[in-house]
């Protein structure tokens, strides 16, 4: 009895395609934590329309465990981060 995954089955409880993790890379030497956070906000602002909106939508970030941030946005907005957006 092979367990097949139904294409409509929710694999990750709570996955709503509105909460996104955006990872970034910085060249060495790495900027300061403050500079990285500022870069995250400026990058998100380009997608969501304003710096103030970016501050509202970003709910987590890291400069150590991972380099990037988590923000609330639509799937369409998240697509803008793929490839060479900036």
Confidence of residue 81 (pLDDT cuts 50, 70, 90): confident
Q: pLDDT of 60-72, one tens digit each?
A: 999 998 999 999 9
Confidence of residue 83 (pLDDT cuts 50, 70, 90): low
Structure tokens belonging to residue 55: 């501050």
Residue 59's closest CA among 48, 51, 70, 50? 70
């Amino acid at each position: 009895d092979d367990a097949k995954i139904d294409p409509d089955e929710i694999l990750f409880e709570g996955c709503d395609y509105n909460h996104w993790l955006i990872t970034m890379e910085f060249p060495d030497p790495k900027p300061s934590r403050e500079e990285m956070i500022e870069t995250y906000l400026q990058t998100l602002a380009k997608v969501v329309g304003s710096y103030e909106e970016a501050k509202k939508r970003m709910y987590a970030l890291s400069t150590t465990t991972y380099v990037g941030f988590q923000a609330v946005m639509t799937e369409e907005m998240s697509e803008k981060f793929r490839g060479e957006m900036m």
